[in-house]
Amino acid sequence: MSEISKAYEPQSVEDKWYQFWLDGKFFVADAQSAKPAYSIVIPPPNVTGVLTLGHVLNNTIQDILARKARMDGKEVLWLPGTDHAGIATQTVVERALKKEGKIKHRDDLGREKFLEEVWKWKNEKGGIIIQQLKKLGASCDWTRERFTMDPEYSRCVQRVFVDLYKKGLIYRGKRMVNWCPASLTALSDEEVVMKEQKGFLYYFKVEVAEIPGTFLTIATTRPETIPGDTAVAVNPKDPRYAHLIGKHVVRPLPVELPREQKLIPIIGDEHVDFEFGTGVLKVTPAHDKADFEIGARHKLATVEVIAANGQMNDAAGADLRGLDRFKARKVAVEKLTELGALEKEEPYTNNVGFSERADVPIEPRLSEQWFLKYPSVEKSRAVVAKGEMKFHPDRWAKVYDHWMGSLQDWCVSRQLWWGHRIPVWYSEGWKKLSQKIVFVRLTGHELAGRNVKELREAAFTFAKSHGILGQSFLNLDSHQNITVHKASLEHAFSNFGVANVKLVPGLPDLLRHAVKVASEPHLPPSESVISVETYFSALQVGDQIFRVKFRVKVFPDNFRLYDHQAVMLWREKENEPDGNKSPEAQFPKEQTSRPASGSTLLLRDLVQDVNSDPAFTRSQIEPPAENWVQDPDVLDTWFSSWLWPFATMGWPEQADTLKKFYPTTDLVTGPDIIFFWVARMIMAGYEYMGALPFQNVYFTGIIRDKQGRKMSKSLGNSPDPLDLIAKFGADALRFGVMRAAPLGQDILFDEQNVELGRNFCNKLWNACRFRQMQGGEVQGEIEPTLLSSDDKWILLKLDAAIREVTIALNEYKFSDATAALYRFFWGEYCDWYVEATKAVFFGTDEKRKANTLAVIDFVLSHTVRMFHPFLPFITEELWHGMGYATDMPDNQGGKTIMFAPWPMPLDEDFKGHYGLDDCYLEIAGAKYELVSQGRNLRREANISTGKKIKYVLKPVNFLPPHDVEVIRLLLNAETVEVNENFQPPKGTLTARTELGELYLPLEGLRTPEELAAEKARVANELDKIEAEIAKVEQKLANPKFMEKVPPAVLQEHSQRLAEWLAKRDHAKAALGALS
């Protein structure tokens, strides 16, 4: 530290050292290293993102862990990167292009051109956050920076998709999905947040067609969907309405339609709650999940009235057509009013699902999407439940477990351009199927039904009546035993398609008697599935015969699950592609089957659905041949993020990095993405690496402002971390955030925290400056015989601090660690030790001065290292400036504090050699307590701090002269007279301490008022003492207490009583001395 400025100036230090670290390649992880590995992957921030306080919190923790691990001698990989963030990025770029006037809509450019623009934007403006992380001091291995759209990474994503497809875990289906009318894409359930919305419940009446003059009143929050209503439902048990079931009502909208086209049936459905509203429910199968189910049960038509963009379509009628859905709501109410149908409207609050990103209400919408049935679920669930993977704080394990226990299939397709395009190809040449379907026949047994409900009932009846449940059946062709579990039936019924429902109950029968079975080589097994066998069968639908391909999964205990099958509908009599009748020949080696459709489709919809798509479907990365077109959708961004821990390490080719650093040690992330990311990474880790992706997960709190509100742009309450760094320094920001971030709690952010960090850095700086001002080289050897009680005290305190901080870090208690460091350094080292050393430095004993410097150097060199993970910049500056680097080997702190060893607690040999007995904590502690008391006396006497005064000490035991000198200095006294026979004159203030009585003779200097005030104060204190004595005495007087209390506690109570009694005596004496 050649130039010593009075205050620490981070700006002149931080960039210099960061560049130094980069130049030295200190962040680069060596996969060949012999050191034990420590690894952590960054939660990839959005490539469009800018640094927020949330990132600061998160990445500071990771940096602390990484830097600490380096100091522990580990080979550290902190792997950084960014996420392509499909919706967010596409929106940002789209908005930017619109602003520049380049486009009005993304369609103006077309997919290719638009993607070019996105890449351009990404390369020019993306990744700002990476530069910002550097400002924060993040010690990431930037040579390994990854982006989820990197070619290698994209290939991993595609590979995984194809693999899951082949395992039968990915399927396509037409389902009700969460549709975002702003982003024009489907969303997963996790991307929908429920929000309370204030609105109205509208009551309108409809006439029963068969009984003129009879009206039903319906309550709804969505009158704009009336044109899409295809029934009115009541509970069949509701006495008010049951008799009306089967009759019809006249739907009021659209106004212009003739009455006969607006007749919709009154149906009975148990789903209807007759407590709610009027007990009459309008059913809009196209725009409500529950209504869709009702529609499926009652074979209702599905009339879509809201288009993908949230505007009403033609079917909504002339009045609503083209209007936004919310505007349409108002107009619909007006129309109802005009018709005289509106009875009333009352304010109503309900929960509405919002798109998390676009912050608009989502629209349930029937559409064709890709779904994933999660892999490796049981293992992933068990590893956390059993505590093999630890969550910190562990209450998140319960949340995780709950979610894992009720997994819904993941909608992975997005109708966007920016992202990984789904690696599925469709061939042309599909011939349309006839839509005439009368019944379904499974050879030998009929399971007839026109919709799922009927089929399901038939299937259950069939399974029951044939005693199939729990039975084993021998397949005569393959000689395999097939057992039907109840679970497999339920599973199939609840999760899979119509075809599955048809097949499962009949399957053993098919295998036994009728089906012409072929087998295929099994597909790549996962750990929980030994093999997947493929069979073909025939299915007759009306006059057509279809080939059906289905799959049987074989589990380790020989349990067989018919949980996925691909249905291939084929017209038997014509269109045989090559005339080859063998079923195998119909299905090329690659996956060509088309998975079953959604569970709630009508059969005719299934056929329609199949017709609407190309026949041949293959999932593979490269196009199979010419004339094959790729699925236009891209994958959910999280479908790439969930591979992050291993895809970033070069999976599957580069084995060395993976071998060294996978599984990673820690993951640091926010609890808000526990389902989005953490849970999915665990499942992917098991599925593809056969091992958990990380050993520990640390969940940070969420940063809020000091009023407890979430940080948000619109509130303007999110300070820019870069501004804070510029104003206070990166170390200050890190320290401030860490101090305010207890494990598992939300963090209420206040700039004062950062200010405190800045002040702390300044304190550290000045403490070192003080050391430098005493001169001399770095002192190595400490001479045990020259150690004062102060020296021993601070060494013991250092020892305690090392232990405390190390334990806190091991337990991920960062705020405890910073609090311990703060307390030790400021409250113990600076406040007491440094002040005490002035007695040495202001004196003339040169040997003692040198020895004190040695102690200071010992303490500071340890302290600076302990601070390094928290305050990387200032500690590096001090490490070099103070000369502590010079004595160290190059790879252990000689070059950089980054590799200096983490301080070890002082061992017994060390303590023995230097005479560091715990009694010195008491001895020096008593001394400092005496000083506090003495200062208190001065204050009571109203004597200003600067004024030199005289104290008298009547010691209990001998006190070394050096200690008396320390006391004198700390009291800022002219003299401290040691006098065993001191008789205090009247008006002398006294304090009782462990070391003896301390007096502040005032020699009549005080006014009567001052004396009176003093007397009042002592009297007050006496009262408190009496109260304490009474409390303890009462306890001791209780016979039950004396009988049952453990001896140690009794001892403690008696001792406490004795202390209070002595204090009382002293206070009484003091009172006497004052009067």
Q: Between residue 46 and residue 85, which ones bind RNA under the rule CB under 7 A?
A: none
Among 70, 67, 43, smallest CA distance to 57 is for 43
Can you tell me the distance from the alpha carbon of 92 to that of 88, in angstroms, rounded to the nearest whole number? 6
Q: Tell me which stretch binds RNA (CB under 7 A): 266-274, 333-341, 384-392, 501-509.
A: 266-274
Among 282, 289, 299, smallest CA distance to 228 is for 282
Binding track over 620-659 against RNA, x by CB under 7 A: ----------------------------------------
Q: Is 677 a binder of RNA (CB under 7 A)?
A: no
Q: Is 12 a binder of RNA (CB under 7 A)?
A: no
Binders of RNA among residues 122 to 161 (CB under 7 A) are none
Q: Which is nearer to RNA, 266 or 484 (CB)?
A: 266
Q: Tell me which stretch binds RNA (CB under 7 A): 373-381, 415-423, 637-645, 761-769.
A: 761-769
Q: Is 1023 a binder of RNA (CB under 7 A)?
A: no
Q: Which is nearer to RNA, 96 or 407 (CB)?
A: 407
CB of 66 to RNA, least distance (A): 25
Q: Tell me which stretch binds RNA (CB under 7 A): 58-66, 632-640, 889-897, 931-939.
A: 931-939
Mapped onto helix, strand or coil, the DSSP state of residue 391 is strand
Site residue total, RNA (CB under 7 A):
86
* Contact criterion met (CB below 8 Å) for 595 and 171: yes
Binding track over 817-856 against RNA, x by CB under 7 A: --x--xx--xx--xx--xx--x------------------
Structure tokens belonging to residue 547: 């080939």
Among 778, 782, 766, 781, smallest CA distance to 886 is for 778
Query: 564-588: string of b/e by CB count within 10 Å (b at 16+)?
Result: bbbbbbbeeeeeeeeeeeebeebbe
Q: What is the residue type of 160? A: V
Binding track over 204-243 against RNA, x by CB under 7 A: ---------------xxxx---------------------
Q: Which is nearer to RNA, 135 or 1056 (CB)?
A: 1056
Q: Is 761 a binder of RNA (CB under 7 A)?
A: yes
Can you tell me the distance from the alpha carbon of 365 to that of 598, in angstroms, rounded to the nearest whole number? 13
Binders of RNA among residues 327 to 356 (CB under 7 A) are 350-351
Binders of RNA among residues 286 to 315 (CB under 7 A) are 289-290
Mapped onto helix, strand or coil, the DSSP state of residue 185 is strand
Binders of RNA among residues 952 to 991 (CB under 7 A) are 972
Residue 263's Cα: distance from chain center in Å? 51
* Contact criterion met (CB below 8 Å) for 536 and 516: yes
Structure tokens belonging to residue 1005: 């200097």
Give the Å distances, CA to CA, from 412 to 170, 631, 693, 968, 1028: 9, 13, 21, 75, 68
**Any idea which residue has 């232990």 for tokens?**
803
Q: Tell me which stretch binds RNA (CB under 7 A): 51-59, 369-377, 659-667, 748-756.
A: 748-756
Q: Is 198 a binder of RNA (CB under 7 A)?
A: no
Binders of RNA among residues 707 to 726 (CB under 7 A) are 708
Q: Which is nearer to RNA, 146 or 282 (CB)?
A: 282
Q: Is 932 a binder of RNA (CB under 7 A)?
A: yes
Binders of RNA among residues 408 to 447 (CB under 7 A) are 408
Cβ neighbourhood burial of 618 (10 Å; 0-12, 13-18, 19+)? buried
Structure tokens belonging to residue 543: 């006059």
Among 251, 380, 424, smallest CA distance to 674 is for 380
Q: Is 756 a binder of RNA (CB under 7 A)?
A: yes
**Any idea which residue has 């380096």 for tokens?**
70
Q: Is 42 a binder of RNA (CB under 7 A)?
A: no
Residue 370's φ and ψ, nearest 5 degrees, are -95, 135
Q: Which is nearer to RNA, 684 or 764 (CB)?
A: 764
CB of 1024 to RNA, least distance (A): 9
Q: Tell me which stretch binds RNA (CB under 7 A): 298-306, 617-625, 643-651, 742-750.
A: 742-750
Residue 476's Cα: distance from chain center in Å? 52
Mapped onto helix, strand or coil, the DSSP state of residue 747 is strand
Q: Is 453 a binder of RNA (CB under 7 A)?
A: no
Q: In what helix (H) or strand (E) does residue 608 lie, and over which residues does it extend?
A: helix 603-611
Q: Is 7 a binder of RNA (CB under 7 A)?
A: yes
Q: Which is nearer to RNA, 1035 or 1064 (CB)?
A: 1035
Candidates 261, 309, 712, 1038; binder of RNA (CB under 7 A) is 1038
CB of 746 to RNA, least distance (A): 6
Can you tell me the distance from the alpha carbon of 114 to that of 127, in angstroms, rounded to the nearest whole number? 19
Q: Is 745 a binder of RNA (CB under 7 A)?
A: yes
Q: Half-sphere exposure of residue 387, counting CA atoms within 13 Å on the CB side?
A: 3
Q: Tell me which stretch binds RNA (CB under 7 A): 109-117, 133-141, 310-318, 928-936.
A: 928-936
Q: In what helix (H) or strand (E) does residue 78 lie, and over which residues does it extend?
A: strand 75-79
Candidates 28, 193, 629, 726; binder of RNA (CB under 7 A) is 193
Mapped onto helix, strand or coil, the DSSP state of residue 1062 is helix
Q: Is 734 a binder of RNA (CB under 7 A)?
A: no
CB of 345 to RNA, least distance (A): 13
CB of 403 to RNA, least distance (A): 7
* Residues with Cβ within 8 Å of residue 567, at least 6 apart in sequence: 497, 499, 546, 548, 549, 550, 593, 594, 595, 596
Q: Which is nearer to RNA, 800 or 830 (CB)?
A: 830
Q: Which is nearer to RNA, 6 or 573 (CB)?
A: 6
Q: Which is nearer to RNA, 550 or 951 (CB)?
A: 951
CB of 1028 to RNA, least distance (A): 7
Cβ neighbourhood burial of 819 (10 Å; 0-12, 13-18, 19+)? middle
Give the Å distances, CA to CA, from 435 to 150, 292, 569: 45, 22, 12
Q: Which is nearer to RNA, 80 or 279 (CB)?
A: 279
CB of 964 to RNA, least distance (A): 18
* Max CA separation in the chain (angstroms): 124
Binders of RNA among residues 356 to 395 (CB under 7 A) are 395
Q: Which is nearer to RNA, 190 or 631 (CB)?
A: 190
CB of 751 to RNA, least distance (A): 11
Q: Tell me which stretch binds RNA (CB under 7 A): 316-324, 575-583, 741-749, 1006-1014.
A: 741-749
* Residues with Cβ within 8 Å of residue 461, at least 6 apart in sequence: none
* Contact criterion met (CB below 8 Å) for 977 and 952: yes
Residue 199's φ and ψ, nearest 5 degrees, are -150, -150
Q: Tell me which stretch binds RNA (CB under 7 A): 516-524, 549-557, 750-758, 781-789.
A: 750-758
**Any idea which residue has 């209990």 for tokens?**
956
Q: What is the residue type of 1056? A: R
Q: Which is nearer to RNA, 832 or 858 (CB)?
A: 832
Candidates 213, 521, 946, 1047; binder of RNA (CB under 7 A) is 946
* Residues with Cβ within 8 Å of residue 162, at least 6 apart in sequence: 423, 619, 620, 621
Q: Is 773 a binder of RNA (CB under 7 A)?
A: yes
Cβ neighbourhood burial of 483 (10 Å; 0-12, 13-18, 19+)? middle
Q: Which is nearer to RNA, 20 or 770 (CB)?
A: 770
Candidates 32, 582, 944, 981; binder of RNA (CB under 7 A) is 944
Among 66, 81, 75, smallest CA distance to 29 is for 75
Q: Is 281 a binder of RNA (CB under 7 A)?
A: yes
Q: Is 200 a binder of RNA (CB under 7 A)?
A: no
CB of 766 to RNA, least distance (A): 3
Q: Is 1019 a binder of RNA (CB under 7 A)?
A: no
